[in-house]
Structure 1
Amino acid sequence: MSKIQLTLKALNKRVDADGLLEVQQEDGGVEKVEMIFNPPATEEELQKLPFIVPEDYKEFLRLHHGGLIFNHPKYGAGFEFFTVDEILEHRAIPGYDYPDNWFPIAYGYDGCYLIVTDKWVGNGYLYVMDTGYNFEDDMFIGMTFEDWLEKFILAQGSKFWEWGFRIPPILNFQSDENY
């Protein structure tokens, strides 16, 4: 079983009969959020994509052709995975000149786009871009879609890619006569 399948299977075990998942938010509150996945994409739909689709992302589309996850039933603000047609629509918005190899595949949290590129850099090919379409302020997150999805679910829908990580100071064990 692939990482995508394992991640989604584990998630589905925790979702209740109403499609809701109880999560602890970063502010400490506990809420139930919606986990909605669309039926699979067809091969005809996948053929519409004008770029080489990474295998893990293609597998996700074959399982779920879009969806909406970690969405509050009353207040919204979830993360929406686009269908193929929605990817093409977002890519073609007039005035937003994405670089040639950038394709928005998801949107969430009032302006955060998840971008697939056709270039593998380091450990992945994903970027995150905030609304405003400022390509100079994009954030390469250096992971594959399957790694991103797993971490996103483990982080309970939080923007884990923005978390600061504490780096301990360099310890200096040389003796100092002043002590």
Structure 2
Amino acid sequence: MSKIKITIEALKSRLDSNGLLEVQQEEGYVDKMKVVFNPPATKEELQKLTFAVPKDYEEFLRLHNGGLLITHPEYGGGFELFTVDEVLEHRAIPGYDYPDNWFPIAYGYDGCYLIVTDKMVGNGYLYVMDTGYNFEDNMFIGMTFEDWLEKIIIAQGTKFWEWGFIIP
């Protein structure tokens, strides 16, 4: 079984009957958070993507065409993993000229976008871009989608990439 599948199945097994997960975050905050995975993307939907989709991200889309990760049921937050159509919608927002090989695949934390590229650099291809679409202030996080997904679940939805260490 693939890392994506193992990670998702392990997370699903920890959800209660309402799709909620008890998590502890910074400063001792404990609450039940919502996790939702959409149905799989169709072959037709996947063909709409205009870039070379990394294999692990494509596998995620084949399993779940987006979803919500560790979101408070009342207050929101967490990460919204985009559907194929939402990736294309966010990529086409007028006035935001993403570099050619950048595609926003998730949104969270009041304006933080997770960006997938079609070029592997070291051990990964993901960037995090904060509010404002400032391509100069993006952060390369040096990992693949499957590694990011596993780590954000282990970190219970927190911005683990800002914990003050460099990920190789």
Both structures adopt the same fold (TM-score exceeding 0.5): yes
For structure 1, the residue ranges without an aligned partner over 5 or more in a row are 167-179
1:120 matched residue in structure 2:
120
Other structure's SS at 1:114 match? strand
For structure 2, the residue ranges without an aligned partner over 5 or more in a row are none
Distance in 2 (CA, whole Å) between partners of 1:165 and 1:38 is 33
**Deviating 4+ runs (over 4 angstroms):** none
Please say which structure displays the higher CA radius of gyration. Answer: 1
CA offset digits 1:80-131 (Å, max 9, x no partner)? 0001110010000011010000000000010110000011000010000001
2:8 matched residue in structure 1:
8
Specify the code of the residue in structure 2 equivalent to 1:19.
G
CA offset digits 1:115-166 (Å, max 9, x no partner)? 0001100001000000101000000001000000000000000000111139
2:41 matched residue in structure 1:
41
2:22 matched residue in structure 1:
22
1:67 matched residue in structure 2:
67
Other structure's SS at 1:75 match? coil
Aligned residues: 166
1:78: Cα distance to partner? 2.1
Correspondence list, 1:14-163, <5 A: 14-163=14-163
Identity among equivalent pairs (%): 79
1:77: Cα distance to partner? 1.0
Other structure's SS at 2:27 match? coil
Distance in 1 (CA, whole Å) between partners of 2:73 and 2:5 is 25
Other structure's SS at 1:60 match? helix
Specify the code of the residue in structure 2 equivalent to 1:83.
T
Correspondence list, 1:160-175, <5 A: 160-165=160-165
Distance in 2 (CA, whole Å) between partners of 1:159 and 1:39 is 26
Distance in 2 (CA, whole Å) between partners of 1:27 and 1:48 is 42
Specify the code of the residue in structure 1 equivalent to 2:27.
D
1:10: Cα distance to partner? 0.8
Distance in 2 (CA, whole Å) between partners of 1:147 and 1:71 is 20
